[in-house]
């Protein structure tokens, strides 16, 4: 193989800038998914990215800062929820999407951090989780509730922050405390048995 700047017997060109940063973040995500937070090391990440530890520490001062960046960039967005004609269907589709996010590679990494993180780093990851997962979920749920009020299948006073909190709290409780998944049938049970009666006019 030949190319610009290549001579026979030379090493591949060194990656720099965004390309190297992406390789580091990908390697860190792979480590989180495979070995978890406690066993992840900067040495292993550097090896996975085929670079030196110095390249990591020039960008992130600690393992915690690196992992926080992995989660910030890796968690998929929730996107918009199309109007399916009822608050029941809208919330069900949103919950399925939220569970898909938690089953993604970044979601698996997030759960590893949630289960293993020590109190020293809790505040850092709490902020990442809030901005990357809870805040977007709250915004979408609020939009769906307001849409339901306009449509007439949600009572007009169902805008309390406590009501908006219910779905994220339930999903996080199952992930954090129980360490288990939400099958689609249980999502439906939660929506039908809890959310719809709470929101119904």
pLDDT at 134: 86
Q: Write the pLDDT tens digit of every residue in 52-64.
A: 999 999 999 999 9
Burial class from Cβ neighbours inside 10 Å (0-12, 13-18, 19+) for residue 116 reads: middle
**Topology of the domain comprising 17-73:** Arc Repressor Mutant, subunit A (1.10.10)
pLDDT at 114: 78
DSSP category for residue 195:
I
Q: Is the pLDDT of residue 18 over 50?
A: yes
Q: Write the pLDDT tens digit of every residue in 74-110.
A: 988 888 889 999 999 999 999 999 888 888 899 888 8
pLDDT at 2: 41
* Residue whose tokens read 């939400």: 182
Exposure class string for 43-61: b at 16+ Cβ within 10 A, else e:
ebbbebbebeeebbeeebe
What's the CA gap between 42 and 40, in Å, rounded? 7
Angle at 133 between CA 57 and CA 194, to 5 degrees: 155
Q: Is the pLDDT of residue 5 over 70?
A: no
Taking the CA atoms of the chain, what radius of gyration do you get in angstroms?
A: 21
Under the banding of pLDDT at 50, 70 and 90, the label for residue 180 is low
Q: Are 145 and 159 in contact (CB under 8 A)?
A: yes
| Percent of the chain residues past pLDDT 70, beyond the cut | 90
Work out the average pLDDT over 122-130: 82
Terminal CA-CA length for the chain? 69
Domain ranges of the chain: 17-73, 76-199
**Listed residue (99, 51, 60) closest to 76, CA to CA:** 99
Under the banding of pLDDT at 50, 70 and 90, the label for residue 8 is very low
Work out the average pLDDT over 39-46: 95
Burial class from Cβ neighbours inside 10 Å (0-12, 13-18, 19+) for residue 78 reads: middle
Q: Is the pLDDT of residue 175 over 90?
A: no
Q: Is the pLDDT of residue 16 over 90?
A: no
Q: Are 24 and 51 in contact (CB under 8 A)?
A: yes
What's the CA gap between 17 and 141, in Å, rounded? 38
* Residue whose tokens read 């290549």: 6
* Average pLDDT of the chain, as a whole number: 87
Question: Dihedral, CA atoms, 191, 153, 87, 85, nearest 10 degrees?
Answer: 140
Q: Is the pLDDT of residue 10 over 70?
A: no
pTM of the model: 0.79
pLDDT at 14: 61
Provide CATH code, domain 76-199. 1.10.357.10
């Amino acid at each position: 193989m030949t190319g610009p700047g290549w001579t026979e017997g030379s090493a591949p060109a060194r990656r720099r800038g965004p390309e190297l940063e992406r390789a580091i973040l990908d390697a860190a995500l792979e480590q989180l998914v495979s070995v978890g937070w406690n066993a992840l090391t900067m040495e292993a990440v550097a090896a996975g990215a085929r670079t030196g530890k110095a390249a990591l520490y020039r960008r992130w001062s600690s393992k915690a800062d690196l992992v926080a960046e992995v989660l910030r960039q890796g968690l998929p967005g929730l996107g918009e929820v199309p109007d399916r004609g009822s608050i029941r269907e809208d919330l069900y589709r949103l919950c399925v999407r939220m569970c898909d996010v938690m089953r993604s590679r970044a979601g698996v990494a997030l759960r590893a951090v949630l289960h293993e993180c020590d109190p020293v780093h809790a505040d850092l990851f709490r902020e990442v989780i809030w901005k990357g997962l809870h805040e977007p979920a709250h915004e979408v749920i609020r939009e769906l509730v307001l849409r339901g009020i306009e449509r007439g299948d949600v009572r007009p006073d169902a805008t309390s922050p406590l009501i908006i909190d219910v779905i994220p709290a339930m999903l996080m409780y199952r992930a954090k405390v129980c360490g288990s998944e939400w099958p689609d049938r249980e999502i439906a049970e939660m929506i039908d048995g809890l959310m719809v009666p709470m929101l119904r006019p």
